[in-house]
Amino acid sequence: MKTLIKNGTILSSDSEIKADILVEGEKIVAIGQDLNDDVDKIIDATGKYVFPGGIDQHTHFEALTNTGDKDTAGYETTKALIVGGTTTIIDYAPQDPGCGLIESAKYRIEKRAKGKTCVDFGLHSLITEVNDKMFDEIKELPKHGINSIKAFMAYIGSPLHVDDGTLYKVLSESKKVGLTTFVHAENGEIIDMLQKDCVKAGHTSPKYHAVSRPPIVETEATRRALYYAEELDAPIFIVHVTTKGATDAIAEAKAKKVRAYGETCTQYLTTTKDVLSDPDFNEAAKYVCSPALRDQDDVDAMWDALNDNTLSAIVSDHCGIDLHEMKQVGRNNFVDIPNGAPGAADRINMIWTNGVAKNRITRQKFVEVCSTFPAKINGMYPKKGVIAVGSDADIVVFDPEYRGVVRLEDNPNGIDYNIYEGREQIGRPEVVLLRGKVVLEDAKFVGELGQGKFIPCEPYAYCYEGRK
């Protein structure tokens, strides 16, 4: 199958050109002016931007929550991501109870995602059981196409929490085999204390989620994790950064040549903690995510940190927790509200609307942080994250003239709410190709369940900066 995309403006992380793209099979085979070939399909991209498919490197599909045995939304809901211009995710694969890192990853690939996912996917390992087997398996992860491992400094008392000794050893062992350690940096002990203080005082509504997770818990934990990485000369990636204090810490570490990197999320660029004060529990509970939402000053600081290269990616931290069942367990106590919100389907549109269209970031920065850098960080580049000859034909044809509002009914995400409902939307994907196949046409999903496949992630990726 040959497809020709004509007359569009191709966006990359460092330039834009008017050119045609010839796709054959799953690959891009030519880029140039006035291409002509005997093709099966022509896509007219006149007046449109053409950029590489979005890569969301932070998602939680089919993840167990604290609401019993119910998981977050399944991989079949990833068709909404295609509609939103994302073609690849790097999902978190937590250790299943009683299982190792590798067994859990294999099970997720073969038994959970296979036959259901509509996007291509890689995996991060995620620690939930600390034991000798877990440490032994770290060195084997690259053989299974996994180049990263995540540790939580928060959630003390839960299987997710790792202590400082564990984090230090994970950083050390990961460095030996080219893994990047991803860290959820929040001081679990302080959060635990503040939560108990709030509840004791009768402060149990959702707004106290932010009160009990103030900026200091993130800034302090970020500085502590960065110090360990500096001492070990190990790459470290701080996930979902929300505070100026944390970005300052990353910038200072970079200035000292620490291999320190970070990301932020769409919600931390577009939404303040004011929404948590809504007297309607259902409205406020939608926005309970961790770290907590912040004030406008921190929102502005996240845009600054993207522009000065302190932060390298924008992600969704997508967690498909429904409102009218799962979030209700915390109606009488904010501590029990499952943390997380859906957002992967809206990431591209919301960042274009609130970033590019409002001159907060350039079109080049948009491609860099939404696609190219995530591909590099996760060892998928140049297979993914770029429009280049030889790369996978993951391509978005984007209409910048579209105007509308976000409505869940227009792109159901498998959850009973959308945190961006009713917000302005400028621009949208009109056509999306996944490995050369048209899976979105006229802004409608035309793909099929199971079209996505597992993409191995190469070790010693971008965060190693060429050093082994």
**CATH number for region 53-382:** 3.20.20.140
How many Cβ atoms sit within 10 Å of the Cβ of residue 332?
Answer: 11
At 172, is the pLDDT very low, low, confident or very high (cuts 50, 70, 90)? very high
Q: What is the full DSSP assignment across 155-189?
A: -TTSTTB--HHHHHHHHHHHHHHTPEEEEE---HH
The tens digit of pLDDT for each residue in 219-255 reads 999 999 999 999 999 999 999 999 999 999 999 999 9
Give the whole-angstrom CA distance, residue 123 versus residue 164: 24
How high is the mean pLDDT of the chain? 97
φ, ψ of residue 210 in degrees (nearest 5): -75, -35
pLDDT greater than 70 at residue 468: no
pLDDT, residue 65, reads 74
How many angstroms separate the Cα of 295 from the Cα of each of 91, 274, 276, 300, 359? 28, 8, 12, 9, 21
Give the whole-angstrom CA distance, residue 198 versus residue 191: 10
How many Cβ atoms sit within 10 Å of the Cβ of residue 293?
Answer: 24
What average pLDDT score do residues 6-18 get?
A: 98
The tally of CA atoms less than 13 A away on the side-chain side of residue 36 is 1
φ, ψ of residue 41 in degrees (nearest 5): -150, 135
pLDDT greater than 70 at residue 171: yes
Domain boundaries, the chain: 53-382
Give the whole-angstrom CA distance, residue 267 versus residue 289: 9
Q: Classify each residue of 53-70 as buried b or exposed e, where b means 16 or more C-beta atoms within 10 Å of its C-beta.
A: bbbbbbbbbbbbbbbeee
φ, ψ of residue 314 in degrees (nearest 5): -115, 125
pLDDT greater than 90 at residue 71: no
Check: CB of residue 435 under 8 Å from CB of residue 102.
no
What average pLDDT score do residues 116-140 get?
A: 97
Give the whole-angstrom CA distance, residue 242 versus residue 294: 7
Q: What is the full DSSP assignment across 411-468?
A: S--SSS--TTTT-EEEEEEEEEEETTEEEEETTEE---TT---B-PPPSS-GGGTT--
The tally of CA atoms less than 13 A away on the side-chain side of residue 196 is 7
The tens digit of pLDDT for each residue in 342-393 reads 999 999 999 999 999 999 999 999 999 999 999 999 999 999 999 999 999 9
Give the whole-angstrom CA distance, residue 421 versus residue 412: 11
pLDDT greater than 90 at residue 270: yes
What average pLDDT score do residues 420-435 get?
A: 98
pLDDT, residue 354, reads 98
pLDDT greater than 60 at residue 55: yes
pLDDT, residue 466, reads 57
What average pLDDT score do residues 79-107 get?
A: 97
pLDDT, residue 68, reads 56
The tens digit of pLDDT for each residue in 381-416 reads 999 999 999 999 999 999 999 999 999 999 999 999
In the three-class reduction of DSSP (H, G, I as helix; E, B as strand; rest coil), residue 224 is classed as helix
At 324, is the pLDDT very low, low, confident or very high (cuts 50, 70, 90)? very high
Of 366, 434, 298, which Cα lies nearest the Cα of 26?
434
At 467, is the pLDDT very low, low, confident or very high (cuts 50, 70, 90)? low
- CA 6, distance to chain mean position in Å, is 31
At 37, is the pLDDT very low, low, confident or very high (cuts 50, 70, 90)? confident
At 94, is the pLDDT very low, low, confident or very high (cuts 50, 70, 90)? very high
pLDDT, residue 67, reads 61
Q: What is the DSSP letter of 126?
A: E
